[in-house]
Structure 1
Amino acid sequence: MSIDSPPDPRQFVQPLDHGISVIDTGFVRELFDASHLIVANGRAAYVDTGTNNSVPRLLAALAFHGLDRDAVDYVILTHVHLDHAGGAGLLMQHLPNATLVVHPRGARHMIDPAKLMAGVRAVYGADVTARDYGELVPVAADRVLETHDDLVIELGGRPLRFADTPGHALHHHCIWDEASRGWFTGDTLGIAYPALTTPLGTHVIPATAPVQFDWQALHASVERILQSQPKLLYLTHYGAVGEPENIAAQLLTQIDAMVKVGRELATAPDRHTRLKAAFQDIYMSELRRCGSSDSDENLHALLATDVELNAQGVGVWLDKKKQ
């Protein structure tokens, strides 16, 4: 997809209230991975970017709102996993006034992505990495702002406050937007694909991908988010969801079940295979409890990648506990 021949943004931009739009980045499948564009008094910020392949969509969304590229003040990353941050460097090349805002534990990987890219290739192989992510573009250090807990930046006079929220990753923060009374949560509040919606509404599953899952830290981060009494959560996977307390309760119930079975299987010789089977049962049972009538086949396909990554993440956590 060419930067100079952008797609029709009406196909992937969903304007919401409070100057916020959800942009489908196109990563993996439709309605899987989102960037959020915030516009306030003619100034703009992106929260998460998708991958290099997503950049034409992000720039097209800006034009859709009648904004020039020099109107973007910030590119904000919730954390530096590549479905959230892989396109940041390439996007920054097209935004002359933008500052990259990133957790201090992730900043070095945006400035020099060589180690991060090596890790991705080790996991996915060179061909898949080239297809799905491309080559990460480094960001000049003088264009990077490292956050700290309770940092506030202003976008066109609109305050955005950062909260350190480990649990999914140590390099994770969430962003509080007082104007909408919403949190941009990255992966801290889990994954809520629209395709998983049940008769009871939005349905969330956990995100415990390797290598920094921490059960207790995640509980604390979720509790901190709820202290603000938010009205909305803006999830990278996927979009704006309401009823934060219900989402949090559903998330933590499943997390606790995963941790329980993980401890039971901690020394099992076939641990990874059994963790995957157990996690799939946990997610499927919760979907059925909430009234999902989708076929097992479709649900298994939707959950397959997350089951695999979550089992890997809990496995790493169990191994760390033994050390």
Structure 2
Amino acid sequence: MAQPLDLGRRISLIDLYDLRMPQRTGTYVLHEENLAIVETGPSPSVPHLLAGLKALHIDPGEIRYIIVTHIHLDHAGGVGLLLQHCPNAMVVVHPKGKRHLADPSRLIAGAKAVYGAQFESLFDPILPVPEERLIVKEDGETLELSAERTLVFYDTPGHANHHASIYDSYSRGVFTGDTIGVFYPQLQEAGLTFCLPSTSPNQFDPEAMKQSAARLEELRPERIYFGHFGMLDDPQEAFRQLRVWLPKFVAAGKEAVDRHPEAPAAEQAKMAAHRLRGEVMAFLDDHGAPSSSSAHAAIELDLQVCAMGLIDYWQKQR
């Protein structure tokens, strides 16, 4: 297990080894009087989270707030399990996510539809969160962790309708979940800052994603804290790359649906993923990213899931 990363400004990052991959999904620890964490990852990641807290000399009973940007299982699937270790914690969630944490049956059904036979190894168990331990934060509402640190919650649909991004007054950074995409820090070793949109099913909306990103960019943050994975201290580059890659993703989905309208959705998704894989890998080759980088495996997986969301979006448009 990797030791938690000290990101400065009283924030630590715990690697959750989601999908058994390092630098895939992380939990952010905000070291304040009211101790808070952002994201839990899926249930199989909870042991890594607890080990990270132990390395930071934090008793889970000290946690006051467990905050999730959205309720997709790779971000919030472990909430119910983690709560068993955090007797004093409340769970903070987007208004549209509350009922699904209280009753995760639809979350489970949706994940099974996407991941099939892999569901249990990736996500089990998914436990309900008692309603009395849920706090909803509407757009613009705040949460004070200390006299110096207040969190501001923003409704940021695009990746999902139940998505919040959270501005941190102390670090002047934003916890963006998947709103502006996925960051691949492994490629920084090759001198490349690289982000891709996250267009997974089934609520992806490119126009909403652009509007949400523009809203966050107007905050002029100094840092982006990605759900996948890590901190980027050049936010403008993340926003720029979203503007470059999002139209390419949308076009790949449209092409697959337009050219093969009668093909099953799974086949259309394979076509879209194939086109995107070619564009992304060509870009990485042109910029000297080593093919041996562990980022390639993560990108390959992401493109498959993103393609499914793109096809779902275009089929709804038709």
1:158-307 equivalences in 2 (<5 Å): 158-197=149-188, 199-269=190-260, 271-294=268-291, 301-307=297-303
Amino acid across the alignment from 2:146: G
Q: What CA deviation, in whole Å up to 9, does each residue of 1:161-210 have, x standing for no partner?
A: 10011111111110100111100011112111222336443211111001
Question: Quick one: which of 27, 51, 60 aligns to 1:69?
Answer: 60
Q: Which amino acid aligns with 1:121?
A: K
In terms of mean alpha carbon deviation, does 264-273 or 21-30 score higher?
Answer: 264-273
> Does the CA-based 8 Å contact 1:209-1:312 persist in structure 2?
yes
Indicate how the Cα distance of structure 1 residues 68 and 274 shifts in structure 2: closer, same or farther if over 3 A, else same: closer
Match of 1:135 among 113, 125, 145: 125
> How many Å separate the matches in 2 of 1:39 and 1:124?
35
- 8 A Cα contact 2:3 2:55, kept in partner: no
**AA in 1 matched with 2:22:** E
| AA matched with 1:113 | P
| Aligned residue identity for 2:237 | N
Shift of 1:308: 0.9
- 3-state SS of 2:124 partner: coil
Deviation of the 1:71 alpha carbon: 1.9
For residues 145 and 183 of structure 2, the distance between their equivalents in structure 1, rounded to whole angstroms, comes to: 27
Residue identity (%)? 36
SS of aligned partner of 1:160:
strand
Corresponding residue of 1:4: none
CA distance in 2, matches of 1:110, 1:180: 29
1:5 corresponds to? none
The TM-score normalised by the length of structure 1 is 0.90
Q: Does 1:102 align with 2:98?
A: no
Aligned equivalents of 1:48 and 1:277: distance in 2? 31
Q: Deviations over 1:85-106 (max 9, x none)?
A: 1110111121111110011111
| SS of corresponding position for 1:237 | coil
Question: Alpha carbons of 1:156 and 1:261: their partners in 2 closer, same or farther (altered >3 Å)?
Answer: same
* Alpha carbons of structure 1 residues 59 and 199: separation in structure 2 relative to 1, 3 Å: closer
The gaps in structure 2 that reach 5 residues or longer are none
Q: CA deviation at 1:298?
A: 6.7
Q: Give deviations 1:200-237, integer Å, cap 9, x for gaps.
A: 43211111001111111111111111111111100111
**For 1:198 and 1:224, how far apart are their aligned partners in 2?**
30
Structure 1 gaps of 5+ residues are 1-7
Deviation by residue 1:127-148 (Cα, 9 ceiling, x = unmatched): 5222121121111101101121
In the TM superposition, what is the alpha-carbon distance from 1:300 to its structure 2 partner? 5.1
Q: Could you say which residue in structure 1 is the equivalent of 2:40?
A: 49
Return the alpha-carbon distance in structure 1 between the equivalents of residues 178 and 64 of structure 2.
24
